[in-house]
Amino acid sequence: MSTHGSEQHGHHLYTGLDNRKLAMWAFLGSETMFFGCLILVMLINKHNTLGSHGQEIFDLALTSFTTFVLLTSSMSMVLSLAAFRNGSVFWGRIWLGLVMLMGIVFLGGQVYEFSEFVHHGLTPSTNLFGASFFTLVGFHGAHVAIGVLWLGTVMLYSFRGRFRPGSDMWGIELVGLYWHFVDLVWVAIFTLIYLI
Partner 1 sequence: MATVTTTAPDTRTFSGAAWSWITTVDHKRIAVLYLVTALGFFVMGGVEALLIRAQLARPDADVVAPDRYTELFTMHGTTMVFLALMPMSAAFFNLLLPLMIGARDVAFPRLNALSYWIYLFGGIFINISFVAGGAPNAGWFGYAPLTATKFAATHAIDFWALGLQILGVSSILASINFIVTIVNLRAPGMTLNRMPMFVWMSMITAFLIIFAFPAITIGLVLLLFDRYMSTSFFLPAGGGDPVLWQHLFWVFGHPEVYILILPAMGIVSEILPTFSRKPLFGYAVVAYSGAAIALVGFGVWTHHMFTVGLGPIADTAFAISTMAIAVPTGVKIFNWIATLYGGSISFKTPMLFAIGMVAMFIIGGLSGVILGSPPVDGQVQDTYFVVAHLHYVLFGGTVFGLFAGIYYWFPKFTGRLLHEGWGKVHFLLMLIGFNLTFLPQHMLGIDGMPRRIHTYSSDMGFELWNMVSTVGSFMIAVSVAVFAINAIRSARSGAISGSDPWDAGTLEWTIPSPPPVYNFAEIPVVDGQYPAWDAKRGGGNTGAVATVPETLEGEDEPHIHMPNPSYWPIVMAAGMVLAASGLIFHQIFILLGAMMFGISLIGWIEEPAE
Residues at the interface with partner 1 (CB under 8 A)? 1, 9-15, 17, 19, 22-23, 26-27, 29-31, 33-34, 36-38, 41, 44-45, 48, 50, 124-125, 127-128, 131-132, 135, 153
Dihedral sign computed on CA atoms, order 13, 18, 19, 24: negative
Decide if 114 contacts 134 (C-beta within 8 A): yes
Given the complex with partner 1, which of 18 and 71 has the nearer CB atom?
18
Least Å distance, CB 86 to partner 1, is 26
Least Å distance, CB 13 to partner 1, is 5
Given the complex with partner 1, which of 33 and 196 has the nearer CB atom?
33
Decide if 174 contacts 24 (C-beta within 8 A): yes
Cα separation of 164 and 131, whole Å? 46
List 7's β-bridge partners, or say none.
4, 12
Least Å distance, CB 137 to partner 1, is 14
Given the complex with partner 1, which of 102 and 171 has the nearer CB atom?
171
Cα separation of 60 and 126, whole Å? 21
